Amino acid sequence: MKLSIGIVGLPNVGKSTLFNALLKKQVANVANYPFCTIEPNVGIIEVPDERLPVLAKIVNTTKLVPAVIEFYDIAGLVRGASKGEGLGNKFLSHIREVEAIVHVVRLFEDGNVVHVSDKINPEDDMKTIETELILADLETVNKFKEPKKGTAATKDAFETFETVQKIKIQLDKGVTIRQQNLTEEELTALKPLNLLTVKPVIYVFNISEDQLQNADLTKKQIETIFNNLKLFSTNYNYLFLCAKMESEIVAFTPEEQTEYLKQFGLEESGLNRLIKKAYEALGLISFLTAGTMEARAWTIKKGWLAPQAAGTIHTDFEKKFIKADIVKYGDFVKCGGWVKAREQGLVQITGKDYVMKDGEVVEFKVGA
């Protein structure tokens, strides 16, 4: 399953600093991913998972394969991008390819780093990008013509047209598609259009180390921004970090990072928090496999059934699925592996209608 996140924002807000920090983190584990950078602006980043080393020790393997996400460092957006200003068309074509957006917003003050508008105004910056994405979506939906009755047009095409008319009214009022109350059927109908404002967004506020020291004040400032913009704010859709600091501490050992972060009251780096949040934003979970060959995390959508999960290992496994042996991660660790977990009756034998849960250790049984 290909998972991609686009890092967007105005020029000089810290996008590339953040992206480079993510890449440096990955380079430390380059053995598993020899082609870490696909293109100059695309990197494959591991999803941090503290469970894998534990499983590897139990099953006596040295090979760990975490889940991964592709991060795209997308060219800085400027006002008028929807009309081709700056690298507008290139920016918009790249962002159409990703499943979710990380919107980097500058909160830090630094006279040596020029702001594109000559002033730090996060609300205005956020509105600029959102407006350009809305305008781009409006251009797309305005081009979508009503299918002619009596032609070969499918039922899906008519459903898409009806949904387009509905979202267009709100887009004209400046309301993004993700803020509109659409049904799953309507969202499915819009998929062929690859619209921009339907994608989930994580706001990353790039702050200074001083602002990181004053976390409570920084949180209040961010909440005020969300309130002023009438955006719904939760811990799920934003975080703040110091991209400059993150790019420096990737060179530290894990122990040194832990000690350094303690002074800011943080338990883990901003990079790890961002990667995990991006994974959640896509509605993803991981199931685990553990054997002598490898300990591995496999990515699936929340709500997937056991046969679908098996299909991520090999497409034939979904068709030939018989059953799945499943044990909770905590029970697997407590028992020290499959044998004792089975002896203690902690392994659940499941069928085709079983809904997978995050962190389960699984063995699939498939037919020949």
Annotated binding site: 12-17
Which two three-digit tokens encode residue 2? 């290909």
Pairing of strands 42-46, 37-39: antiparallel
Using CA atoms, how far apart are residues 314 and 148, in angstroms rounded to an integer? 42
Residue with tokens 């008519």: 158
Contact 92, 82 (CB under 8 A): yes
Of 277, 101, 94, which Cα lies nearest the Cα of 200?
Answer: 101
- Sheet of strand 42-46, all strands in order from the earlier edge strand to the far edge: 37-39, 42-46, 68-73, 4-8, 100-106, 201-206, 238-241
Q: Which amino acid is at 7?
A: I
Known binding-site residue numbers for ATP: 12-17
Q: Residues with Cβ < 8 Å from 247, sequence gap 6 or more?
A: 17, 18, 20, 21, 24
Buried b (16+ CB within 10 A) or exposed e, 29-50: eeeebeebeeeebbbbbbbbbe
- Residue 187's beta-bridge partner residues? none
Residues 6+ apart with CB under 8 A from 107: 120, 122, 205, 206, 207, 208, 211, 218, 221, 222, 240
